[in-house]
């Protein structure tokens, strides 16, 4: 079971690199390495080839096969170790290191809010959350755990197909601020790769487990082209306090610009789904407009128009 957030925070695609000690090392493309290994292998032995040459060819072919196996292995969740820098693939702005906890008013009279769901995707609860959102034609942001995303990649497609955003919530939900830079990079980069492989683009938002960031982890997140997202309303659904209490918390504390924190994974989320069915239409009736944070003015102000597009 994945740990869940335990407190409320309040307050105000760049390059992928590998942190080894204090160094930043850009990776090489898997396909190029595999191609180079294949091209460097022997082309076979003719009738006039000496035994030494034949042995060299066999050795080269074996090396090529090993290189290809390594490339296939690297193309799994650890592909970030051999991928080119994202800046070489597309001209995207670098991520921000300023955490967003609330949205700016935008152009909707100050009634924009953001719904976010953490710790999924979960094969039972994520589809139920998606069903409620689809019924009310509302978009949300799903902050996914990398290892869960890798195990249920089809749910990433379902999220993206519904017009929702996918954010990076680390690979295994550790406290990033207690980890070495290389470990932080691995937690975030592996998850970026899983999302990129499933839906065709990496996440542009990141949410630290427990909402805990520091200068070092923010810098690593930004180097991967992501901007950090906090929250202003903790529904406390992770405590399983009961559907009525979750609904009451949402209705009492939601205000214009609020970013709501809920969970679609990490435990039994039946109360989360039931509460969502209750409070979502009531929020809509009150004039609130759920939006994706990556498209809100809060992020445009930090990163410039067109960021993440």
Instruction: Report which of 266, 86, 81 is spatially closest to residue 190, judged by C-alpha positions.
Output: 81
| CA 134-136-137 angle, 5° bins | 60
CB 246 within 8 A of CB 272: yes
Instruction: Please state whether 266 falls in left (phi above 0), alpha (psi between -120 and 50) or beta.
Output: left
Rounded to an integer, what is the distance from CA 198 to the centroid of its chain? 11
The rounded distance, in Å, linking the Cα atoms of 165 and 159 is 7
The rounded distance, in Å, linking the Cα atoms of 290 and 165 is 12
The catalytic residues are 118, 263
Question: Going by C-beta distance under 8 Å and a sequence separation of 6 or more, which residues neighbour residue 176?
Answer: 170, 184, 187, 208, 209, 212, 213, 217
| CA 97-102-106 angle, 5° bins | 105
The rounded distance, in Å, linking the Cα atoms of 191 and 7 is 24
């Amino acid at each position: 079971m994945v740990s869940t957030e335990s407190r409320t925070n309040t307050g105000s695609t760049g390059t992928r690199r590998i942190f080894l000690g204090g160094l930043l090392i850009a990776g090489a493309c898997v396909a190029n390495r595999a191609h180079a290994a294949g091209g460097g292998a022997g082309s076979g032995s003719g009738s006039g080839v000496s035994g030494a040459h034949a042995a060299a060819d066999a050795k080269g072919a074996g090396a090529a096969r090993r290189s290809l196996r390594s490339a296939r292995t690297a193309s799994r969740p650890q592909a970030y170790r051999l991928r080119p820098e994202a800046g070489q693939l597309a001209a995207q702005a670098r991520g921000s290191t300023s955490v967003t906890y609330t949205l700016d008013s935008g152009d909707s009279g100050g009634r924009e809010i953001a719904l976010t769901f953490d710790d999924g995707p979960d094969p039972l609860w994520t589809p139920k959350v998606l069903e409620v959102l689809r019924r009310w034609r509302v978009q949300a942001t799903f902050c996914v755990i990398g290892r869960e995303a890798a195990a249920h990649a089809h749910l990433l497609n379902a999220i993206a197909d519904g017009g929702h955003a996918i954010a990076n919530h680390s690979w295994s939900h550790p406290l990033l601020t207690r980890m070495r830079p290389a470990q932080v990079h691995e937690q975030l980069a592996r998850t970026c790769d899983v999302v990129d492989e499933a839906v065709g683009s990496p996440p542009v938002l990141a949410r630290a487990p427990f909402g805990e960031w520091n200068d070092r982890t923010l810098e690593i997140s930004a180097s991967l082209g992501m901007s950090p997202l906090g929250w202003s309303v903790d529904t406390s659904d992770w405590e399983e306090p009961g559907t009525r209490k979750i609904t009451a918390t949402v209705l009492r504390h939601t205000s214009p610009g609020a970013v709501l924190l809920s969970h679609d994974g990490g435990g039994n989320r039946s109360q989360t789904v039931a509460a969502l069915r209750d409070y979502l239409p009531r929020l809509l009736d009150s004039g609130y407009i759920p939006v994706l944070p990556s498209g809100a003015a809060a992020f445009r102000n930090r990163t410039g128009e067109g960021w993440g597009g």
